[in-house]
């Protein structure tokens, strides 16, 4: 049992400061994290593929340095390849895959001083807003309400942080996969600007540039400091994000400027028709956030970008289906055999079947649709008429619900269906539940989840604030101000 009973009272920077002051050792922090895993993981099923002995040897023998020296870390069980940490990718087909290289994002986390001891659960290949993969023997549960999902695809990371196993965890986001679990679990998450983090050496981009690494944290300053430690391109990157102007953590010490923030309480338009209302709890969370932001001195305006979200998400589905098929085909080649029926989830088989009908021209058209969305949103933020504000009335940020409903009950989005397109964009599919997040994966703009609201049932409901391309700094300052209220 851990001797450091106050472990859960600190964020990651706070724990690192205790290590620097020699008030606690890295080994004691790991023992505290292990104790929390032992107490909480049987209930939530969030932590897998642990390497406790390896982590403890590092904590006891290595001279750790960096802003997070000695702080425990968990990697998402998808991407972030590391020699010492096998991966399932959420899939029986990939169970216990051993890597021959360390990804750049992992190396930067290690240089920052984090001590990694395992991985957190993910839906198969990151498809879906819930984490219920067969490879883990059961669903990942929301520690705040065990009957509900913690989210996806970084559902294990969200559950682990919310359960107090550690103050910050690695995740990734290709359609809301950081912000959805952050909303469900009451955490802060930043989906950074496209290419803000390195993606190599295995690839230059994921899902045509829509997927990106990131982190779930309990404090805004932790996210800022991890961003400082890990951002920037790696060798051979196909494109770069606009360079950061100084430290994100230092920027939190400075007052932010007054922003003009557009507010939406309906979903985006579909086929030229107005969007639908969201759940009253989500609308209440946005109204609360708007009042708070106005009290902090920001200007709130009503505006809506004219974008056909259904058309965009059909293109997103084509891209993700093709990426999924490529991933499976690559593993089959390594194994020297075809995947067996029980080695993939139903929705994955559906994605592979859908990909067979996507031609090369169709794929290029889907990517063009994604790029078009980026141009529409750039004009919207610049004050184009698409926003209904009139030419010249620029905005700095867009406030929406993170999800259109409170956290879903487990089983509702279980990935056992074979119709991939219906699962994603059908009448009862993911799009109706999460209509706001994926747009900013398509446009590459930064977007944050702010934990803002708890409904009558005790479920947490977040709001999303999206900013201009490359301008995380203003979003982080807004989040800091909200956090301090």
Q: What residues are annotated to the active site?
A: 76, 153, 177
CA distances, 312 to each of 85, 271, 316, 422 (Å): 36, 11, 6, 15
**CA 413/CA 240 separation, integer angstroms:** 35
Contact 313, 210 (CB under 8 A): no
Residues contacting 133, CB < 8 A, separation 6+? 88, 90, 91, 121, 122, 123, 124, 345, 415
**CA 6/CA 373 separation, integer angstroms:** 47
**CA 263/CA 299 separation, integer angstroms:** 10
> Residue 219: which of 188, 249, 245 has the closest Cα?
188
Residues contacting 295, CB < 8 A, separation 6+? none
């Amino acid at each position: 049992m851990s001797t450091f009973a106050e472990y859960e009272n600190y964020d990651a920077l706070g724990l690192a400061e205790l290590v620097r002051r020699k008030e606690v050792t890295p080994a004691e922090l790991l023992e505290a994290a292990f104790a929390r895993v032992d107490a909480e993981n049987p209930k939530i099923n969030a932590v897998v593929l642990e390497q406790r002995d390896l982590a403890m040897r590092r904590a006891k023998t290595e001279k750790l340095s960096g802003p997070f020296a000695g702080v425990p870390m968990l990697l998402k069980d998808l991407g972030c390849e590391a020699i010492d940490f096998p991966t399932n990718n959420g899939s029986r087909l990939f169970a216990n895959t051993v890597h021959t290289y360390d990804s750049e994002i992992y190396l930067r986390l290690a240089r920052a001083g984090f001590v990694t001891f395992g991985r957190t659960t993910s839906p198969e290949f990151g498809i879906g807003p819930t984490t219920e993969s067969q490879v883990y023997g059961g669903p990942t549960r929301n520690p705040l309400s065990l009957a509900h999902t913690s989210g996806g695809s970084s559902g294990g990371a969200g559950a682990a942080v919310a359960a107090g196993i550690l103050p910050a965890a690695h995740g990734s986001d290709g359609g809301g996969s950081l912000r959805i679990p952050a909303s469900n679990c009451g955490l802060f998450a930043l989906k950074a600007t496209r290419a803000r983090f390195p993606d190599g050496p295995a690839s230059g981009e994921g899902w045509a540039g829509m997927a990106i690494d990131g982190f779930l944290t309990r404090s805004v300053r932790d996210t800022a400091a991890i961003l400082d430690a890990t951002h920037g391109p790696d060798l051979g990157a196909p494109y770069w994000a606009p360079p950061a102007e100084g430290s994100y953590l230092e920027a939190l010490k400075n007052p932010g400027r007054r922003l003009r923030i557009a507010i939406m309480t309906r979903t985006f338009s579909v086929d030229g028709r107005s969007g639908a209302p969201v759940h009253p709890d989500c609308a209440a969370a946005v109204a609360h956030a708007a009042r708070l932001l106005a009290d902090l001195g920001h200007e709130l305006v009503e505006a809506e970008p004219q974008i056909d979200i259904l058309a965009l998400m059909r293109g997103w589905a084509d891209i993700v289906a093709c990426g999924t098929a490529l991933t499976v085909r690559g593993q089959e080649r390594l194994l020297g055999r075809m995947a067996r029926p029980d080695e993939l989830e139903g929705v994955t088989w559906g994605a592979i079947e859908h990909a067979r009908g996507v031609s090369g021209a169709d794929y290029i058209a889907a990517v063009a649709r994604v790029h078009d969305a980026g141009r529409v949103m750039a004009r919207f933020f610049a004050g184009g008429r698409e926003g209904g504000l009139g030419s010249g009335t620029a905005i700095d940020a867009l406030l929406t619900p993170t999800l259109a409903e409170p956290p879903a009950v487990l089983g509702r989005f279980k990935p056992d269906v074979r119709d991939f397109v219906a699962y994603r964009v059908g009448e009862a599919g993911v799009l109706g539940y999460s209509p706001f997040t994926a747009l900013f994966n398509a446009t590459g703009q930064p977007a944050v989840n702010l934990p803002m609201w708890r409904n009558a049932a005790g479920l947490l409901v977040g709001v999303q604030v999206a900013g201009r391309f490359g301008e995380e700094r203003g979003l982080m300052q807004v989040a800091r101000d909200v956090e301090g209220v």
